[in-house]
Amino acid sequence: MKIICLSNQGSFAPAEQLTPGDDGSLVYPIVVDQTYDVHGLLIAPNTCHVLVVVDFKPRWIPIGLFEITNAEMSADWVKVEIEGIPFYDELHKQSGFTTLVAYPRLTEDPAHYNGVVNWEPDHLIDFYKEVGLV
């Protein structure tokens, strides 16, 4: 899946699509008119966040800041309903996200997910290998 950045301003996206805690004033670390590969989706009833790499760091960014240029998802991605699953249920309670779609290890291994989103070196190396960045 590929997307192009339309804006890096939280105020650009509909309020329900923003990161929890963003009142529309956040400036996201993405570059307008740049194309990004999507490495995962976090889905809630009114929104979706995409996992993109910015400055060598994976980040969840609201889909409302992008336009989809190629909707084809990787054939090996797995969809997991996260509500009620230990660790992922905390993500659900904090953010309202209900579904995670990504490569299998990111959806099945909470330690790996946590390591990726917290930029832990060993997990980042595995992430980069998994998504074909190394």
Residue range 99-121, pLDDT digits in tens: 999 999 999 998 999 999 999 99
Q: Which residue has the tokens 């509500």?
A: 83
Give the SS3 label for residue 90: helix
Residue range 50-108, pLDDT digits in tens: 999 999 999 999 999 999 999 999 999 999 988 888 777 777 777 778 899 999 999 99
What is the Cα–Cα distance from 102 to 104, expressed in whole angstroms? 6
Residue range 19-55, pLDDT digits in tens: 767 788 889 999 999 999 999 999 988 889 999 999 9
For the chain, the straight-line distance linking the first and the last C-alpha, in angstroms and rounded, comes to 18
